[in-house]
Amino acid sequence: MSLPPTFKAAVVETAGKSKLYDPSLQQEVPVKFELKDIPLKKPTYGYVLVKVIASGVCGSDVHVLNGAVGSQFPHVAGHEIIGEIAAIPETEDHWQIGDRVGGGWHGGHCHFCKYCKRGEFLLCEKEAVNGVSMWGGLAEYVLLRREAVVSVPKDVDPASYAPILCAGVTVFNSLRNMHIRHGGLVAVAGVGGLGHLAVQYARKMGYKVVAIARDPAKRDEALKFGASAYFDRTHNAAEELKKLGGADCIVLTANNGNLVSQLQPGLARGGTFLTVAIAGNATFDTVPAVVQKQAFRGWPCGSAIDSEDAIDFAKNFGVECAIQKYSLDQIQEAYDSVDQGKARYRNVIVFQ
């Protein structure tokens, strides 16, 4: 595969300033992208070079590009990447040029800290994050660390499956680790980029699913995704869950920490309140937590094998990510749509 001397990337020179993170701001500064030609570097030991085919624009990119998670500027975001390996170093003994691969939030681990030695790669003390600690996939090429590269089947649509590498694996991997009883009730709070996948994964895993969101207009779509009931702002969702016997697991996918205290009364005895959203401070009542043996959990995403499992499950059980496609030239429009909560349901930059 011949390599160009430069490649185009969507670069953000300085972090945005949002009242979401700093309420004292007099005026917000929006995130602005510039398409720039970047010198192409060949991969060195431990890395592979990937020619990007599709790269999702995730809600986490809003946090990243507003400087809320430690990203360095100038910066290229993007952690929902699918492409083909374009170059490898001479030391590479596993990946080959032409392999269809991906890169998610988890971008690498050290192998040597106590968490890595226990196989808890997501807790690595030196975890690398694609599109955060390293430049990401909103570009024609990206360097990925070999240990975190995801193998992607060539018979799946890269644009539709790119969001599985973050949104998909996050809800899939968290749900399968919550030890929910077979046939239990799962309530998904928020029917957006994460939520519409959480509804599908939970239903396909064999759980009864209730969707909770503000907008009554999303009811039909939520039911189509697999929810058996939909509670919007005209309902008291916690009371409705009580009528159903309580939720064995409430999955928070909406960026609203107030929902924790609002929905906890709808949690069943022994139930788990799971958040996969970065929703800020929240209140979880310790009285029912102790008396009713309730748990509050968070979950980050998944390692390479988790992403491969999430892809395989989606492929075999019909989990479909609803996407809108954009070109790299339309990156500002794609990002602003996510930032403003208008995406239905995931925005993806397509290069081929």
Domains of the chain by residue range: 6-167+302-350, 178-298
**Token reading at 291:** 């008396």
Q: Using an 8 Å Cβ cutoff, are 13 and 7 in contact?
A: no
Question: Per residue in 289-299, is it b (16+ CB within 10 Å) or e — as a string?
Answer: eeeeebebeeb
With beta carbons less than 8 A apart as the criterion, state whether 175 and 201 touch. yes
Place of tokens 């945005």: 16
Q: Which pLDDT belongs to residue 1?
A: 64
Query: Residue 69's pLDDT is what?
Result: 87
CB-based contacts of 235, cutoff 8 Å, min separation 6: none
**What SS3 state is found at 48?**
strand
Is it true that domain 6-167+302-350 has CATH number 3.40.50.12280?
no
Q: Identify which of 250, 222, 80 has the alpha carbon closest to the alpha carbon of residue 165.
A: 80
Q: Name the pairing type of β-strands 323-326 and 295-298.
A: unpaired
For 202, residues 6+ apart whose C-beta sits below 8 A from its C-beta are 171, 175, 186, 188, 209, 226, 251
- Residue 23's pLDDT is 84
Does CATH place domain 178-298 in 3.40.50.720? Answer: yes
Same fold for the pair 6-167+302-350 and 178-298: no
Give me the pLDDT at residue 47, please. Answer: 98
CA-wise closest residue to 315 among 181, 158, 150, 80: 158
Q: What is the model's pLDDT at position 339?
A: 94
Which tokens in the block code for residue 144?
């990925």
Residues in the chain where the model's pLDDT stays below 50: none
Looking at residue 22, what is its pLDDT?
83
Gyration radius from the chain CA atoms: 20
